[in-house]
Structure 1
Amino acid sequence: MNARRTAGRGAGPDEDPGAVGRRVQRLRTERGLTQRQLAEPAYTPAYVSTLEAGRVRPSEAAVRHLAERLGVTYEELATGRPAHLATALRLGLVEAQRTLATGAAEDAAAAYARLLDEALRHGLDDERASALLGLGHCALETGDLPSAREHFEAAERLLADAPLPRRAPAVRGRAVAHLLAGELRYACYLLESAIDALNTSGLQDPGALLLLYTAAIAPYMDMGAHARAAQAAELALALAPQVSDPELVAGLHRSVARTLLAAGRTAEADASLSRAAEIYQQLQIRTELAHCRWMRGYVHAQDGDLSGAETELRAARDMLASKRASLYTAQVEVELADVLRRRGKAAQARELLHRLLGELHPDRGSIHAGGAHRLLGLIHEEQGEPESAEEHYVTALALLERAGAAGDLADICRLLGDLLRRTGRPEAAMDAYRTGLGHRASPGTTTLGPSPARPPTA
């Protein structure tokens, strides 16, 4: 066989053979090489000429030979991407993630947007998906829930052909966005669907399952489905020893604390939060650390330590405000207002709640908006203003019914019923009590019905 090979047919690395030829011609000219000098000893000058004219699709072997002669990488010649571009983009994504953890979400979003544009320009789909996930998390932190959903949905579409564990972070992000918007059942549907698909597909990925089970705890708790939340926590804890990502483990401990609190195990909940906070402190993830302090404030309030609760909640509020995490800041302030009311600072609590209601609305934190109206109802009732109290209770009831927050609904129905009874409207009071009993009888009805499948290894 003649050692001076001609072109391989149909095996080229680039959809457009002319693109490779143009790159070869540009690089050859820049280096002052003739076609003969570039071609020999493996190819002919005529082959290089034909390639540069875009009339032949080069084989992989041809591209590798030409790349070596031109002093570039195979990938750079085959795709036009600068050498080490993917590595540089991945480093940029890590830095953007660090900015989100320690600084303002807007700054991180600007970095993610630049990286997304560059990844799109060079056709790097994995890096595009990571940048979209980052943008989704930035939007969650700033409270822009529609944008968050769009970014997570775009990432999921981009990864449509990837294994389900690779798509799990996008599914989890979408679910959190719907949860924060008060769409609890749909959040559960997304998470349960992904969990069942993972458990029945044989794609055993402890990290993905842990991420999804942990994310399911919050909507279960808000829906009053405490048994399901406890089951999800149990399954997540069983998976934890197989997971090496400390951030995933910290998220588990923070979420499990909610189930422990609901069971009255405050000491264990506090210990779980301490473990999570220690990891977040080491990782310097300020938003999640603030969430731990937020929950510790709630633990103190449950124990009757209102002074300690106020200290923790103010610290959490200040940390979130410094990161301009507006939605989370407003949610913490609802909890803070409750503590202020219980400490006899009704005027401060009332002023704070009225300001917050301009930031919380049905599509942005409906459960906490309902909580704010509930607290205002209590304050007005304690101050002898039953008509204003009733107005706030009814508004809270509408918000919580829309979200499907069964446990909170039963409580607001009781408060409204008691108020109606005291103001001489027993029939209306009975209707409110019946509504509350209905929510107590069927808490946490999720879209799929049965609870998610257990992983075979749990």
Structure 2
Amino acid sequence: MGERDDPDTIGRRVQRLRVQCGLTQKQLAEPVYTPAYVSTLEAGRVRPSDDALRHLADRLGVTFDELATGRSARLVTELRLRLTEAQRSLALGEAATAVRQYSGLLAEAEEQDLAEEQAAALLGLGECALDTGELEPGREYFERAEKRLADAPLQARVPALRGRAVAHYLAGELRYAVYLLESTIDELNRSGLHDPDALLLLYASAIGPYMDMGAHARAAQAAELALALAPQAGDPALVARMHRSVARTLLAEGRITEADASLAKAAELYRGLHLRTELANCHWMRGYVYAQNGELDLAEGELRRALEMLSATRAVLYSSQVTVELADVLHRRGSSREAAGLLRDVLGGLSPERGAVHAAAAHRLLGIIAEDVRDTEQAEEHYVRAMSLLERAGAAGDLADLCRLLGDLLRRTGRVEAALDAYRTGLGHRTAPGTTTLGPAPAQPPV
């Protein structure tokens, strides 16, 4: 027996609908039940069976669910239609519009006590917050969504878990972000729940924290797995719009179940569109690999593609990370002035609580560029700022490298004791880089 209201509530609902339809208790009961049964039911003294509710719903012109729970199937479908519209706004980078839509939907879903729709609205608000860099509110939205889905299968909870992990990552809490992502991947794969969409979301989201912790091999593996899992679609935006239009037509004709099915397809496609952010991370990872191999022209192409994809969704913090990597490639190709301009633009939108690792990377590269033109004072200032940011975030691998750069600079300027202190600090961090303290990699899916 599914979820339903108590007998007293159902009885009052049956009586109200019967009066609205102008039916007597005898007319409502016939030909299966007696007027006495309907009278007892309306008084709340009997718990109706599913068969009785189906008979009464048919006579009253409502659905079984509406009679059992008080929720209009039509209203629920209309709510889901508006959820796909909010998803569309978010997928197109219209975060402010999406926030207004999701907020209204959340209030209505709470009023109707619709847990699944509440979770969808909370997830949307969390994604909007990530895109605009409001990390603390975003994390709270994802936590609330997880609570709404506490009884749902793990695959259904993955978007909320992933959102929470990304919020921690962007706030500089790298190790905890990796823990959340890897433990979820491991649980999915070991239990045989090889959901491609869920795994794609998790693997792609793990690339950033892996890279910042120095776990480059794991980042590369995650990128390849994500790309292998990525769904292939021609133009999902057009297909999603078609499904939304079909759903409206079906809804107008009263074909609620078919409208719901069409909306589910549209929602899936909009989620795929929002995956542009995650797939951009894969292009960023490829660009990084090309850069490490000295193939700078290919690296620049991949990074510019990633940045273009991120700019289309206005994902500010993600764009900052790729911009720093692109600036490094441009510097190595001799375009230091363009690289420095990109880095200064990035720093304008970052802070210790909002993109600390990206800000540190920008300062590090600006320090190297300053050293190239023998501006040692400016270089030292950038290195010190970068060290402060990395210490806060716990990015051990990057911190060790930065200590070496600062030590070399101090030694060249005659400050040997200060240089030795910087080297010792770097050696201390080198003893525990992220690659050796992450534990075993999670189980892999059968790609």
Match of 1:182 in 2: 172
Report the residue type matching 1:197 in the other structure.
E
Deviation at 1:381, TM superposition (A): 3.5
Distance 1:350 1:214 in 2: 28
- Report the alpha carbon displacement of residue 230 of structure 1 after superposing the two structures with TM: 4.2
1:451 aligns with 2:430: no
Q: Distance in 2 between matches of 1:290 and 1:35?
A: 63
Give 1:129 shift.
Answer: 1.9
**CA–CA separation in structure 1 for the residues paired with 2:42 and 2:367:** 78
* Matched residue, 1:362: 352
Once the 2 structures are TM-superposed, how far is the Cα of residue 409 of structure 1 from its aligned partner? 1.8
Which residue of structure 1 aligns with residue 250 of structure 2?
none
Match of 1:67 among 49, 57, 60: 57
SS in 1 for 2:434: coil
- What is the one-letter code of the residue matched to 2:421? D
Equivalent position of 1:276 in the other structure: none
2:380, 2:406 within 8 Å by CA — same for their partners in 1? yes
| Contact 2:200–2:230, Cα closer than 8 Å, also in 1 | no
> 1:76 and 2:66 equivalent?
yes
- Structure 2 matches for 1:281-320, cutoff 5 A? 287=277, 303-305=295-297, 309=300, 313=304, 320=310
Which position in structure 2 is the counterpart of 1:143?
A: 133
Instruction: Tell me which of 101, 106, 125 is aligned to 1:111.
Output: 101
Distance 1:366 1:309, change over 3 A: same
Provide the identity percentage: 67
Q: Do 2:146 and 2:160's aligned partners in 1 also have CA atoms closer than 8 Å?
A: yes
Q: Give the count of matched residue pairs.
A: 410
Matched residue type, 2:85: E
Deviation, 1:284, is: 8.6
- How do residues 188-267 of structure 1 correspond to structure 2 at under 5 angstroms? 188-233=178-223, 240=228, 245-246=231-232
**Corresponding residue for residue 418 of structure 1:** 408
Which residue in 2 is equivalent to 1:34?
Answer: 24
Q: Out of 86, 90, 93, which is 1:100 matched to? A: 90
Amino acid at match of 1:162: A
Offset, 1:287: 4.8
User: Which 10-residue stretch deviates more, 177-186 or 37-46?
Assistant: 37-46
Q: Which of the numbers 380, 405, 410 marks the counterpart of 1:390?
A: 380
Q: Give the CA deviation at 1:151.
A: 1.5
In the TM superposition, what whole-angstrom CA distance separates every residue of 1:113-141 from its partner, at most 9, and x where no partner exists? 22222222222222222222222222111
> Is the contact between residue 363 and residue 386 of structure 2 (CA under 8 Å) also seen in structure 1?
yes
Deviation of residue 63 (structure 1)? Answer: 1.6
Q: Give the C-alpha shift of residue 364 in structure 1.
A: 0.8
1:437 matched residue in structure 2: 427
Distance 2:379 2:145 in 1: 45
Given that 2:296 and 2:329 are in contact with CA atoms closer than 8 Å, whether structure 1 keeps it comes out as no
CA contact 1:141–1:325 (8 Å) conserved in 2: yes
Amino acid of the structure 2 residue aligned with 1:18: D
The match for 2:149 is: 159
User: Corresponding residue for 2:124?
Assistant: 134
2:9 alignment partner AA: A
CA 1:341–1:129 in 2, change beyond 3 Å: closer, same or farther?
same
CA deviation profile, 1:222-257 (whole Å, cap 9, x unmatched): 1111233345456667xx4xx58448xx9xxxxxxx
For 1:106, the aligned partner's letter is A
CA–CA distance in 1 between the matches of 2:284 and 2:221? 24
CA distance in 2, matches of 1:442, 1:165: 34
C-alpha RMSD of matched pairs (Å) = 3.7
1:88 to 1:245, Cα distance in 2 relative to 1, 3 A: farther
Cα 1:305–1:405, aligned 2, differ >3 Å: closer, same or farther?
Answer: same
CA distance in 1, matches of 2:224, 2:64: 49
Change (3 A) 1:16 1:114: same
> For the Cα contact (< 8 Å) 1:409–1:436, is it kept in 2?
yes
In 2, are the aligned partners of 1:141 and 1:326 still within 8 Å (CA)? yes
- Local SS of the residue matching 1:106: helix
Given candidates 101, 110, 115, the residue that maps to 1:125 is 115
Corresponding residue for 1:262?
Answer: none
Change (3 A) 1:213 1:111: same
Q: Equivalent residue for 2:367?
A: 377
Change (3 A) 1:447 1:162: farther
Q: Distance in 2 between matches of 1:74 and 1:107?
A: 35
* Structure 2 CA distance for partners of 1:100 and 1:27, relative to 1, 3 Å: same
Structure 1 alignment gaps of length 5 or more: 1-10, 251-278
> Which residue is equivalent to 1:263?
none
State the match for 2:240 in structure 1.
none
User: Is the alpha carbon distance of 1:192 and 1:414 closer, same or farther for their aligned partners in structure 2, counting shifts above 3 Å?
Assistant: same
Residue 51 of structure 1, CA deviation: 2.8
Partner of residue 4, structure 1 = none
Partner Cα separation in structure 1 for residue 2 and residue 137 of structure 2: 40
CA-to-partner distance for each residue in 1:105-164, whole Å, 9 max, x for gaps? Answer: 222222222222222222222222222222222211111111221121112122222222
> In the alignment, is the contact (CA less than 8 A) between 2:303 and 2:325 conserved in 1?
no
Describe the shift of the 1:34–1:12 C-alpha distance in structure 2 as closer, same or farther (beyond 3 A): farther
What amino acid maps onto 1:223 in structure 2? Answer: M
Structure 1 range deviating more: 34-43 or 194-203:
194-203
- TM-score normalized with structure 2 length: 0.78
CA distance in 1: counterparts of 2:2 and 2:211, whole angstroms: 55
Q: Would the aligned equivalents of 2:407 and 2:423 in 1 still touch at CA under 8 Å? A: yes
How far does residue 374 in structure 1 lie from its aligned partner after superposition? Answer: 1.6
